């Protein structure tokens, strides 16, 4: 039972990491179609390099947003809601993750991750504190397994970094102008070369995992479809990705069917956010608990 919280949190983090599955643009051009001047939008960009540069400027000015995510994994749906701040020192966020009827709070700040767990799980871990801290330099197996992914999740929840990475391996295949959630938007469909994207995707993974996945991907032409909606200020409103074909091609089994589809939405760009670590007297260090348990 106690493993459930870690699996849920890791899954949410991985979803954000996979959002950053970016990859060198062939500078492929896609002529804007369905342009609607009445929407008050500039013509869509023709390649991801231009799109990334413009979006980066808008994001750096706004510095914060609210965000929500919906992800399908093995036929089940995981959702998350929260807020994030983007800055020169990195990304911080506070999210609430819902999966299988369980709710987990997750905070990423100062390169450390904090997970809020149910009282029964805290008891099983030998603590009465509601928050667990996963330090980036933790030397226990669980901290090692999760810390890198959590840090990567923080980086990839920043859409600027996501689009920068897309400029390395993605190509815009079509664009149009439309509305999303009542807001006017330029809409892009992007094709990602998964093999080119692997180094970015696996940045935080253990070396053995990197080697195994690179070996499995060798010689395969796996494409990842992605869609991006941005407003008149080039701020992302919604990003969706379907990695189900990648999961299948990389050896996914029946249990992983339907895995890899998710949508991330951004709103309230520039609104003030306050993200801080939980009070120290409510936090237990994950590494120390594992050591006490003989792990």
For 149, 217, 251, the CA distances from 213, given in Å and listed in that order, are 16, 6, 10
Task: Give pLDDT, residue 9.
Answer: 41
For 17, 74, 179, 253, 267, the CA distances from 22, given in Å and listed in that order, are 10, 23, 25, 25, 22
Is 137 exposed, middle or buried (CB count within 10 Å of its CB: 0-12, 13-18, 19+)?
Answer: exposed
Residues 6+ positions from 203 with CB-CB distance below 8 Å: 152
Expressed as residue numbers, the domain containing 115 is 2-287
Q: Region 58-81: what's the mean pLDDT?
A: 85
Task: Give pLDDT, residue 58.
Answer: 83
The label of the residue with tokens 């390169």 reads 111
pTM: 0.76
Task: Give alpha helix (H) positions in 20-114.
Answer: 48-62
Band of residue 237 on the pLDDT scale cut at 50, 70, 90: very high
Contact 186, 166 (CB under 8 A): no
Percent of the chain with pLDDT over 90: 23
Q: Region 68-78: what's the mean pLDDT?
A: 81
Looking up residue 276, the CATH number of its domain turns out to be 2.50.20.20
End-to-end CA distance of the chain: 17
Q: Region 22-50: what's the mean pLDDT?
A: 60
* Among 50, 28, 6, CA closest to 192: 28
Residue bearing the bigger pLDDT, 220 or 252: 220
Task: Give pLDDT, residue 254.
Answer: 44
Q: What is the CA radius of gyration of the chain?
A: 19
Residue bearing the bigger pLDDT, 1 or 34: 34
H-helix or E-strand spanning residue 232? none
The answer to whether position 199 is within a domain reads yes
**pLDDT at residue 226 greater than cutoff 80:** yes
From CA 128, how far away is CA 4, in angstroms rounded?
18
**pLDDT at residue 152 greater than cutoff 60:** no
Task: Give pLDDT, residue 272.
Answer: 92
The answer to whether position 125 is within a domain reads yes
Q: pLDDT averaged over the chain?
A: 75
Q: Which residues are paired to 68 by β-bridges?
A: 81, 265
The answer to whether position 122 is within a domain reads yes
**pLDDT at residue 23 greater than cutoff 60:** no
From CA 236, how far away is CA 266, in angstroms rounded?
6
Q: What are phi and psi of 68, to 5 degrees?
A: -140, 155
Total structural domains in the chain? Answer: 1
The answer to whether position 295 is within a domain reads no
Task: Give pLDDT, residue 255.
Answer: 47
Band of residue 244 on the pLDDT scale cut at 50, 70, 90: confident
Residue bearing the bigger pLDDT, 58 or 66: 66
Contact 259, 252 (CB under 8 A): yes
Task: Give pLDDT, residue 12.
Answer: 42
Contact 30, 173 (CB under 8 A): yes
The answer to whether position 293 is within a domain reads no
The answer to whether position 292 is within a domain reads no
The answer to whether position 197 is within a domain reads yes
From CA 61, how far away is CA 54, in angstroms rounded?
11
**pLDDT at residue 45 greater than cutoff 60:** yes
Percent of the chain with pLDDT over 70: 67
Q: What is the bridge-based pairing of β-strands 283-285 and 131-134?
A: parallel
The answer to whether position 78 is within a domain reads yes
From CA 285, how far away is CA 164, in angstroms rounded?
34
């Amino acid at each position: 039972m106690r493993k459930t919280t870690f699996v849920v949190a890791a899954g949410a983090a991985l979803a954000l990491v996979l959002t950053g599955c970016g990859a060198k643009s062939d500078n492929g051009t896609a002529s804007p179609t369905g342009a609607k001047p009445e929407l008050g939008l500039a013509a869509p960009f023709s390649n991801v390099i231009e799109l990334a540069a413009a979006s980066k400027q808008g994001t750096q000015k706004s510095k914060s947003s609210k965000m929500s995510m919906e992800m399908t994994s093995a036929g089940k749906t995981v959702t998350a809601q929260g807020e994030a701040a983007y800055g020169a020192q990195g990304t911080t966020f506070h999210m609430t993750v819902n999966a299988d009827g369980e709710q987990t709070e997750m905070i990423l700040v100062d390169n450390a991750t904090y997970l809020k767990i149910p009282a029964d799980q805290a008891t099983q871990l030998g603590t009465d504190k509601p928050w667990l801290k996963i330090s980036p330099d933790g030397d226990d197996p669980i901290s090692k397994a999760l810390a890198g992914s959590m840090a990567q999740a923080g980086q990839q929840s920043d859409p600027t970094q996501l689009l920068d990475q897309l400029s390395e391996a993605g190509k815009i295949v079509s664009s149009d102008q439309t509305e999303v959630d009542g807001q006017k938007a330029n809409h892009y469909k992007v094709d990602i070369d998964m093999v080119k994207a692997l180094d970015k995707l696996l940045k935080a993974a253990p070396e053995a995992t990197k080697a195994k996945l690179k070996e499995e991907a060798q010689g395969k032409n796996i494409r990842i479809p992605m869609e991006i909606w941005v407003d008149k200020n080039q701020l992302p409103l919604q990003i969706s990705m379907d990695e189900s074909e990648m999961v299948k091609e990389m050896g996914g089994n029946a249990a992983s069917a339907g895995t890899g589809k998710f949508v991330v939405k951004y709103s309230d760009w520039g609104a003030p956010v306050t993200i801080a670590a939980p009070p120290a007297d409510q936090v237990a260090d994950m590494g120390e608990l594992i050591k006490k348990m003989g792990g």
